[in-house]
A and B are shown apart, each in its own frame.
Chain A
Amino acid sequence: MTVTLGTTPTAVVAATLVTDPPAPARRRRGRPRPGLLAAGTYLILLVVAAVVPALLAPGDPLAADPRAALTAPGAAHWLGTDQLGRDVWTRVVHGAGHSLTIGLAATAIAVTGGVLLGLLAGLAHRFADEALSRSFDALSAFPLLLLALLLITVAGPGTASLIVAIGIATLPHHARVVRAQTLLVRRAGYVEQAVSFGLSRPRLVLRHVLPNVIGPVPVLAVIGLGEAILAAAGLSFLGLGPQPPSPEWGAMLSEGRNYLQVAWWMTVLPGAAVTATVVALTVVGRHWQARFDGRQH
């Protein structure tokens, strides 16, 4: 006899609904989903493109060939060429390094700063926490691109300021998660116990608080990396990032925009690369998050 709960809404039944949770839905291991597989494969290719671009595209991304300008995709240039006759495929492959570097550097700034400030806010006295938290809130109130634009306006355009701007703009997100986590952990029984071992405060934080706070951060960082790459492409599209002739995806989009009607391939491929990167990172990040959440319970 298998018993399913009816809809009779009595307290007695409600009691059982709560105390008898249904068996947790378990995903069978060893059978990766196709979406995840595709995302993973794409990311591996992306890393290869960033580290050894010559493996995928042996040509020079800057080599101009005016005679072959705006060639449609074909045998010689299988994804076509741009207005200077540069091979689009080669440029997109070599551009992966730029985008990934900017994304990783910006995320590194966001994660490091976010963890430190979040930890500080979570451990500090109420007034300091209040001040830090409100500043995170204020920063989060601005859309990412707007805030980054503002910072670049102050610092001037260029790859370095692009990285710093995106890093600072995405920092509050990490800081808030870490702060919330810190508030939980600092009240945990094991932290209280550690006080009775006679641990000094810095050691207590390093040994028990930080490692237990940091759990969700890598997952957030992966999803944040996609966000940073998208923001970087957007800002360099506006001409605020790496300058031409650098094969950065956003800059390529910006150049291709003028030839959209005659050479669609100039914009479609860099655009697709940005989109695929963000989607792949999000898919992998979400999967990881689900695994992480599952482990927590």
Chain B
Amino acid sequence: MAPLLAVEDLHVTFDSPTGVVEAVRGVSFTVGAGECVAVVGESGSGKSVTARTLVGLAGAGARVRAARLDLADRDVRSYRPRDWRRVRGRLAGLVTQDALVALDPLRTVGAEVGEVLAAHDIVGRRERAGRVVHLLDEVHVPEPGRRARQYPHQLSGGLRQRALIASAIAGEPALLIADEPTTALDVTVQAQILRLLAERRATGAGLLLISHDLAVVAQVADRVLVMRDGRIVEQGPTGRLLRAPQHPYTRQLLAAVPSASSRGRRLGEPAQVRDGCAVPVLRRTPLPARPVVRPDDAVLDAVGLTRRYGPHTVVRDVSFRVARGETLGLVGESGSGKSTIARLVAGLLAADAGTVTFESARWSGVPERTRRPLRRRLQLICQDPLGSFDPRYTVGRVVAENLDPGPDRTDRVLALLHRVGLGPDLLHRHPRSLSGGQRQRVAIARAIAPRPSLIICDEPVSALDVSIQAQVLDLLGELRAADGTALLFISHDLGVVHHLADRVLVLHDGVVVEQGPVGDVFSYPRHDHTRSLLDALPTLVTAG
């Protein structure tokens, strides 16, 4: 039997003002009925363009060329927009990443899902409402009858993603294409959505899953294609690919994933190759040794922090202590109060109750004037470095601002840029023209400039590709060893925290449910919430 989807030598090019951009360069693969194929790659690898081309939505100005492009035994190469409209939703359904923008804010969820049924004339007008409720029920939306009458903004991220999947499967397409379906979601919700997608496969539908996250696809995919620069560098059954990656890039990707096993070691080093044949074990070089942390020597002491927004208490009685040179991880799902704690500790937000002591001085409830002399001892790195730079400033000025003035300031800036692995040529560049990883390095250079004793890192690597994330985490690991800087490391990614933190604080609905050494907490979780976070975490089962 012919596969559901057969792609041979697919090329997609875009005309841009600077010339022709080749996004996909000769990709070939198949997806069979009931099979889940995952395409993994970093941003710019061409994975999304590939997915969109398969539903005729490659984008404006795209030129598609292929030796074969068969969807359910139909050659779709010569399809025009009108033909594609019949295909979308019926033969191939597309689920995109951000369900909030993908759903029309002015229409109810039921109307949105029902529209697919109407467009393809699948069920009569009278049965449509019932069918919509049935579909929502099928994707495990609780109280589907009520939810169908609600608007997207009344639904949580997970429910919205489910509604989007419901509309994608409404026409019972033979092939379901999911482009980063779980990227914006918390781990527990992500696990549910992955399970849901796996269920579709059981009904005989083919599933093409696009993701940047190897661990996510490892959960559900039968086969994995690794894409880079528009080409497939490696493909194979999931288990084989993860256990014995052949291509250096696949190995680099696998090595870059932070986890318990990568603690104290670099993530950014490519795996070793011995005598030309692949070594299954991922070798990682160790990070420099760090000074011993003395738990009684506290840099920061937070006691009973509470913060309310109107009637909502977002942080309730949170106490913790960061010792000199220690890395404290703060994990929790979105809305658990992580960022509020960062702002309270940074003295950017006043607490309703509780006190913060920094460097043995009172830090909360005092006027800004009193705090100012100590300000530079506590620095911030946030998720969006670009937003934290004055839009008019060059890289040099951004870093220089956090240094004392002096004739040798430019030299000191250059030295800092060198420390974070950036060349002197970037000095006069504008941060806008830098890549995400370079921007975060600039932010780190600025943060370490005044030699702070504590750096608050609020999701510093969440917006980065895994290999760039690995480099930034390695950099943080090196810097804290060299400077003895304490880190308050906030992340929703348990793997990152496990890799980097000494102790961890698990936050749930603004309350600390568990804290302790990271190994203890993650190996022997005592609280149910910690356990559910860990259970939901997709893990890579690789040898070594």
A/B interface sample: 25 pairs, CB < 8 A: A1-B78, A1-B79, A3-B57, A3-B58, A5-B81, A6-B82, A7-B85, A8-B119, A9-B119, A11-B115, A11-B116, A11-B167, A12-B96, A14-B103, A15-B102, A16-B52, A18-B101, A19-B102, A189-B384, A189-B388, A190-B389, A196-B378, A197-B401, A198-B372, A212-B391
CB <8 Å contact, B88 and A189: no
Total interface residues on A, CB under 8 Å, equals 38
CB <8 Å contact, B17 and A12: no
Stretch in A20-28, A90-98, A132-140, A271-279 with 4+ CB within 8 Å of B: A20-28
The smallest beta-carbon distance between A191 and chain B, in angstroms, is: 8
**Looking at the complex, which one of A4, A12, A26 makes contact with B89 (CB distance below 8 Å)?**
A12
Stretch in B59-67, B230-238, B266-274 with 4+ CB within 8 Å of A: B59-67
The smallest beta-carbon distance between A46 and chain B, in angstroms, is: 32
A76 at the interface (CB under 8 A from B): no
CB <8 Å contact, A12 and B88: yes
A2 at the interface (CB under 8 A from B): yes
CB <8 Å contact, B376 and A1: no
CB <8 Å contact, A15 and B94: yes
CB <8 Å contact, B113 and A4: no
- What A residues does B229 contact at CB under 8 A? none
CB <8 Å contact, B59 and A3: yes
B375 at the interface (CB under 8 A from A): yes
Other CB < 8 Å A-B pairs besides A2-B61, A11-B115, A195-B368, 15 of them? A1-B58, A3-B84, A8-B88, A9-B115, A12-B94, A12-B102, A15-B102, A16-B96, A19-B102, A23-B61, A189-B388, A193-B389, A194-B401, A196-B378, A211-B390
B56 at the interface (CB under 8 A from A): yes
**Looking at the complex, which one of A6, A192, A211 makes contact with B81 (CB distance below 8 Å)?**
A6
Task: State in angstroms the CA–CA spacing of A212 and B392 once bound together.
Answer: 8
A13 at the interface (CB under 8 A from B): yes
Task: State in angstroms the CA–CA spacing of A18 and B102 once bound together.
Answer: 7
CB <8 Å contact, B375 and A196: yes
A37 at the interface (CB under 8 A from B): no
Task: State in angstroms the CA–CA spacing of A15 and B180 once bound together.
Answer: 13
Task: State in angstroms the CA–CA spacing of A1 and B104 once bound together.
Answer: 28
CB <8 Å contact, B102 and A6: no
Q: Residue-by-residue, is B243-268 near A (CB-CB < 8 Å gives 1, otherwise 0)?
A: 00000000000000000000000000
Task: State in angstroms the CA–CA spacing of A66 and B103 once bound together.
Answer: 78
Q: Residue-by-residue, is B443-461 near A (CB-CB < 8 Å gives 1, otherwise 0)?
A: 0001000100000000000
CB <8 Å contact, A2 and B119: no
A44 at the interface (CB under 8 A from B): no
- What A residues does B52 contact at CB under 8 A? 16, 20
B141 at the interface (CB under 8 A from A): no
CB <8 Å contact, A3 and B56: yes
CB <8 Å contact, B64 and A19: no
CB <8 Å contact, B98 and A19: yes
In the A-B complex, the 5 residue pairs with the closest CB atoms: A15-B102, A198-B375, A189-B387, A189-B388, A15-B96
The smallest beta-carbon distance between B353 and chain A, in angstroms, is: 22
Task: State in angstroms the CA–CA spacing of A251 and B378 once bound together.
Answer: 65
- What A residues does B61 contact at CB under 8 A? 2, 23
Per the 8 Å Cβ criterion, residues 80-117 of B in contact with A are: 81-82, 84-85, 88-89, 93-98, 101-104, 112-113, 115-116
The smallest beta-carbon distance between A150 and chain B, in angstroms, is: 40
CB <8 Å contact, A19 and B101: yes
- What A residues does B56 contact at CB under 8 A? 3
CB <8 Å contact, A197 and B390: no
- What B residues does A211 contact at CB under 8 A? 390, 392
Q: Residue-by-residue, is A24-50 near B (CB-CB < 8 Å gives 1, otherwise 0)?
A: 001000000000000000000000000
Q: Residue-by-residue, is A172-214 near B (CB-CB < 8 Å gives 1, otherwise 0)?
A: 0000000000000000111011111110110000011001100
**Looking at the complex, which one of A7, A14, A193, A201 makes contact with B380 (CB distance below 8 Å)?**
A193
Task: State in angstroms the CA–CA spacing of A196 and B368 once bound together.
Answer: 11
**Looking at the complex, which one of B93, B346, B376 makes contact with A12 (CB distance below 8 Å)?**
B93
A261 at the interface (CB under 8 A from B): no
Task: State in angstroms the CA–CA spacing of A19 and B167 once bound together.
Answer: 17
Task: State in angstroms the CA–CA spacing of A9 and B89 once bound together.
Answer: 11
CB <8 Å contact, A10 and B88: yes
